[in-house]
Chains A and B, each alone.
Chain A
Amino acid sequence: MNSKQRLILLIGFVLILAAAIVWLSSGGEVLSKDGIWIEKEQSDLDKLLGLEPELEFKEQFILGLIPHTLGFAGIIAVLTALLFFILRTKKLKEK
């Protein structure tokens, strides 16, 4: 392994680690989501009627493991492998 290959491996590892950290800090959801359910504020009448708070869909992207984080990590892994192969030290052929 030459120094360029080592650098490529390090960059690949850091990028995948960063993706994992971003995923975990986004809630560690298995699937990416287009939005979240939030409880609407109840009116006094709704409370009198004994209802539970109404849920409302709020559009908000939630990063999940599938497909975004794993997809990104997969692309980085393939690119790292490709660059690792391209940047290998070529041995001179003996004539």
Chain B
Amino acid sequence: MKSILKYYFIVLIAAETIFSQGFQVVASGEQTFSFEDKAGRNQATFFSTTPLEDITGITNDVKGSVTFDVNDFSTLKGKISISVASLKTGIDLRDEHLRSANWLDAESYPEVIFEIKKVNDIQVLEANKLRAKVTGDFTTHGVTKEVVADATVTYLDESEDTKKRAPGDLLGVQAKFNIVLSDFDVENMILGQKVSDDIEISVNIVGSNAK
């Protein structure tokens, strides 16, 4: 009986290790990571390419938080937002157009929001690194559409090195997805053919679970 129980637990532990869809780190249970970074190192970018011109827009004003069970990443929930007014493209006049009522209308819709709904196709790359497809509601210009982001998430336990960036465990998130501007009622008029209807959005952020 003892040996049956022993094998049962070995198989159970092996199965949990093999089929685990979470991080193998020191922390356990539900953790909440905040992406507030006073140093402004978190970054969201958009990229548009047309035969006329490539445009890169950037903001370091990224906010939000996510919560998940360390051992089960599919429990991920949370919200990430950026302020429209903080977007910079490298041309001041173009930034003004971007914020204007004809485009993203920063006055009426000051934030671009991504709210996580579910997580699929989780792949364990390393003990502390996962790749997954994160489905969420993307809202800009007052319109919400579902998008799927390819995300790579890295969990670092607190150490002397991580403390240099922020206290607590750190979560690095690198995610990319595409949107179609016309789906969000953004009229591509002033900038005309210089901006593509297909925009690639990329997020490069670090969160901390320090309370």
Give the interface of A toward B (CB within 8 A): 29-37, 44-46, 48-52, 54-55, 57
Which residues of chain B from 136 to 170 have a CB within 8 Å of any chain A CB? 152-154, 156, 161-162, 164-165, 170
Interchain residue pairs A-B with the least CB separation, the first 4: A49-B172, A50-B154, A30-B53, A50-B172
What residues of A have a CB within 8 angstroms of the CB of B194 in the complex?
Answer: 30-31
29 contacts between A and B (CB under 8 A): A29-B53, A30-B53, A30-B194, A31-B53, A31-B194, A34-B90, A36-B90, A37-B58, A37-B90, A45-B161, A45-B162, A46-B172, A48-B154, A48-B156, A48-B172, A49-B154, A50-B129, A50-B153, A50-B174, A51-B172, A51-B206, A52-B174, A52-B202, A55-B43, A55-B45, A55-B56, A55-B58, A57-B58, A57-B88
Q: Which of B53, B90, B156 contacts A49 (CB 8 A)?
A: B156
Cβ B174 vs Cβ A51 within 8 A: yes
Which of A32, A35, A48, A50 has most chain B Cβ within 10 Å? A50
A68 to chain B, nearest CB (A): 12
Known pairs A49-B172, A52-B204; A34 contacts B91 (CB<8 A): yes
Which residues of the other chain, B, contact A35 by a CB distance below 8 angstroms? 90
> In angstroms, how far is the closest chain B Cβ from the Cβ of A51?
5
Using an 8 Å CB-CB cutoff, how does the interface string of B76-113 with A read, 1 for contact, 0 for none?
Answer: 00000000000010111010000000000000000000
Question: What is the bound-complex CA distance between A46 and B58, given in angstroms?
Answer: 18
* Size bracket of the B interface: 20 to 34
List A contacts of B91 (CB < 8 A).
Answer: 31-34
| Interface check B52, CB cutoff 8 A | yes
A28 to B22, CA, bound (A): 48
Write out the residue numbers on chain A whose beta carbons fall within 8 Å of the beta carbon of B52: 30
Q: Is B41 in contact with chain A by the CB < 8 A criterion?
A: yes
Q: Beta-carbon contacts of B184-211 to A below 8 Å, as 1s and 0s? A: 0000000000100000001010100000
CB distance from B128 to the nearest CB of A (A): 9
Are A34 and B152 touching (Cβ within 8 A)?
no
Contact A54–B41 (Cβ < 8 Å): yes
